[in-house]
Amino acid sequence: MPGPTVWIPRRLSDATLERAQASYDCIINWEDGLSGADDLIEMSAKADAVIPCHSEHYSADVAARLDPRLKIIANHSVGVDHCDLPALKARGITVTNTPDVLSDATAEIAMLLMLGAARRAVEGDRMVRSGQWNTWSPSFMVGKQVSGARLGIIGMGRVGRAFAEKARGFGMSIHYFNRSRLSPEQELGATYHDTIESVLAVSDFLSLHCPATPETTGLMNAERFSQMPDGAVMVNTARGALVDETALMAALDSGKLAGAGLDCFVTEPLGNPAFAAYQNVFTLPHIGSATVTTRDAMGFRALDNLDAFFLGKTPGDVL
């Protein structure tokens, strides 16, 4: 009897694809192009499972039109805002994600963005590359010091805690807002705030690590930017939907914010071309988890969930 068929719509790591092909009959998109709604619906009739990334959107409309053959969506991501979970559950489709394994890699990118935005990395890099660095003085390229500053974190889950751990190495004072207070063992001396507004008021640097939900869409808007200290820096490595990009640019234009570091945008891919005019905005193309170690771990975690499902067990990361 043939085994389950798995559709892999994006080019995952070589180690992941090798393991997948050893265990399943795989349909792999070697060209690594994006898949639209019609593709998702068409392929649901050809596969028992799919390992999508956040670029494949299983909306309520798509879920309603999926073929009954598709039984599990084993996401190659932690965030699942690209999946309408109630609609998929109503169709009897199991959905999993890949928590834990990308926390350190994403926290590293958050640290890179924070340092880059604080120390004017974009402006300095352009100056050197263009051959325009022809002077120096004590007032030249003066930025914002990270060491010893107050860091606000919104969302103290796995990634938020990993980032806090790295920030402590810079002697930063950690403040955080979370849906619930952490245990003392997880808090490690960080100061808990029971409102977002409270943590914003003390955030010389602010880093976003919460999921994108209807409640958090546009979380950072004009009103909330106004509540931050003058000259603050904001970093977002979570989801672009958390930030009102027009309000962010207004806060940068007014000088309310000294800079921003962004690894995600409302529109992806492409991002927001308007940010290119801002030398105090350090941007990256959503590469928070882009290390060999982490991409292998994400792929293997997705396959672990598939293995459990097809053995008749409950996957470890079922949502």
Distance CA 22, CA 6 (A): 12
- b/e per residue 223-261 (b: at least 16 CB within 10 A): ebbeebbeebbbbbbbbbbbbbbebbbebbeeebbbbbb
Concatenated DSSP letters for 9-43? -S---HHHHHHHHHHSEEEE-TT-----HHHHHHH
Structure tokens at 124: 């300095």
Active centre residues (catalytic): 239, 268, 286
Distance CA 56, CA 83 (A): 8
Sheet of strand 191-193: strand arrangement? 191-193, 173-177, 150-154, 205-208, 232-236, 257-262, 281-283
The residue type of 303 is L
Distance CA 319, CA 317 (A): 6
Identify whether 269 is preceded by a cis peptide bond (ω within 30 of 0): yes
Q: How far is Cα of residue 237 from the mean position of the Cα atoms in its chain?
A: 5
